[in-house]
Structure 1
């Protein structure tokens, strides 16, 4: 049977979790009538207080959570290093939670935080998260929360991002400047704001150079490597693209494998640019031209904001919005040797 939480009681009675907690602790701030309503429902649902959460409400856990889709992507590995740098300075522990692009798993992780296990949250959401922003909205009101990289634009919370529209434009314009006229964009989600912004930049660059945009030029991939390989192979054969913008690291390397299989030479037959922080990008054959995100700095900035909020209850965390530019690193996959 599912454990009954303060939040469940709050939702059923349409009260805040703070009011429920005070009522259960017989606070003088709560009316007798409200206390009776809360106690009656708590008894009916067999509510049992969480002693661990109770102790944490009285004393900091000295722990923050980092919720990310994966660690295999070098962006997140670098971002974690940036977060750890600040957390160690503050004497805090960092718990890493992986969602593996699964919204259900992300929801379960976020529900666990309601127990008071962590003092604050840094999160980069899954490709599916936009469908249920309301849970994040509520959580951001209860616990200091900062989005980084993948954000929910609609949620009132601090956000650390890079210039995704400008980066999408820059990547596409670079391909155009090097002779590409039939360019594809590989994306991972129709929901993620960063995916949509990178596509927006892609469209703007095509328009600025009087090149037509077609919906078929955008291919949405998944978290299934085998399915992505087949999909990328199919679109390249069907449309004979001469340039591809890959909006994630995994898709960049997938293109190399497909081109090898199709005996297409990069960059003579097709030019490739990818959003990637892969340290080995320069060692690929040919070396990969990248849009490199300031992952370490983004992690540091996100953690710095979080600790400001933890230090001062008067700090308006929700109003914070920082954009740190990415960098175009030109290598042989777009210009040749």
Structure 2
């Protein structure tokens, strides 16, 4: 018979790993009947918890990890700023891990920090279209994880996100109201939660505004500026849109460069709105209309949830799900 671990024990009991883990603690917040059932099954299966590992986890490092896809985007640096603000007031330090949108790096980071290097994790995920069941092997009771911005819908964890659908819908409505008939949507990855949600808001706004949805007006771009310049040069020439909704900041920047090089006037020939936390958006020529996400507040909320968990604050068994509102800031790039 194979060795029994906490995952197999939890599966045999049809309970979560965290519930089983709590059953082996003193003064744990668990139903006495459930605790008795866990201990009985553990005895029958000859399972013994690793108290040495548990004791290591009780020795807090006072450090939390922040896992992000990139640092080039000002949005993520602002989120980290918010995390650091809260962490500092609670006596915690932060470690920053960058995945470069690589799910293998994400898995390796989580594996490497599960050994007690950090007390908890804040993460914007990379592999939404990949198999991310590796997280099911993490004991979230010992290593709390909070997801922000980009999340895994099938993993039950606390999340902090923004109203991507509503913001995208509102931005598209704004472009329609300002006379746009052929509105393009620029996206890096349509399989990511933010890409899908923002695209749905864009498509629904087109429908409600009496405009057709044209798949040719959805441009699949990349994370590389040079590659995007080539993609958008061809795309703008062939599709001739009169409006653009850029789902991420770098795509708006690439569109500005292409428009300058190709003699396309903003906003006379092409109106642009972008999801962006770019602090110099107002200084661009023309100034860029943005959907500005509350990046610092995202970091603060995520850090507060994580630190509450680390301090033993009871959430009543519910995983916090916070949705923050973004702001459409209209500037010259999308005005009549």
The aligned residue for residue 140 of structure 2 is 141
TM-superposed deviation, 1:313: 5.9
Normalised TM-score (structure 2) = 0.84
TM-superposed deviation, 1:176: 0.7
The aligned residue for residue 129 of structure 2 is 130
The aligned residue for residue 162 of structure 1 is 162
TM-superposed deviation, 1:104: 1.1
Where do residues 148-227 of structure 1 align in structure 2 (5 Å cutoff)? 148-227=148-227
For the 8 Å contact 1:101–1:223, the answer to whether it is kept is: no
The aligned residue for residue 8 of structure 2 is 14
The aligned residue for residue 333 of structure 1 is 333
Q: Distance in 2 between matches of 1:316 and 1:186?
A: 41
The aligned residue for residue 26 of structure 1 is none
The aligned residue for residue 34 of structure 1 is 46
For the 8 Å contact 1:140–1:156, the answer to whether it is kept is: no
Q: Distance in 2 between matches of 1:317 and 1:271?
A: 47
TM-superposed deviation, 1:244: 0.5
Richer in helix (by share)? 1
TM-superposed deviation, 1:31: 3.8
TM-superposed deviation, 1:9: 8.1
The aligned residue for residue 64 of structure 1 is 64
Query: What per-residue deviation string (whole Å, max 9, x for no partner) do you get for residues 107-154 of structure 1?
Result: 11011122121111100112x333123123443634211111111122
For the 8 Å contact 1:185–1:199, the answer to whether it is kept is: yes
Report the CA distance shift for 1:238/1:95 in structure 2 as closer, same or farther (over 3 A).
same
Q: Distance in 1 between matches of 2:317 and 2:45?
A: 35
Of 297-306 and 108-117, more deviation after overlay is shown by: 108-117
Report the CA distance shift for 1:154/1:166 in structure 2 as closer, same or farther (over 3 A).
same
Report the CA distance shift for 1:193/1:31 in structure 2 as closer, same or farther (over 3 A).
same
Q: Distance in 2 between matches of 1:318 and 1:130?
A: 26
Query: What per-residue deviation string (whole Å, max 9, x for no partner) do you get for residues 186-241 of structure 1?
Result: 11112211111100110111011100002222112122222211111111111100
Name segments (4+ residues, structure 1) moved above 6 Å.
Answer: 16-20
Q: Distance in 1 between matches of 2:117 and 2:254?
A: 39
Q: Distance in 2 between matches of 1:34 and 1:140?
A: 20
Q: Structure 1: state its 5+ residue gaps.
A: 1-7, 24-28, 40-48
CA RMSD of aligned residues (A): 2.7
Normalised TM-score (structure 1) = 0.84
TM-superposed deviation, 1:175: 0.8
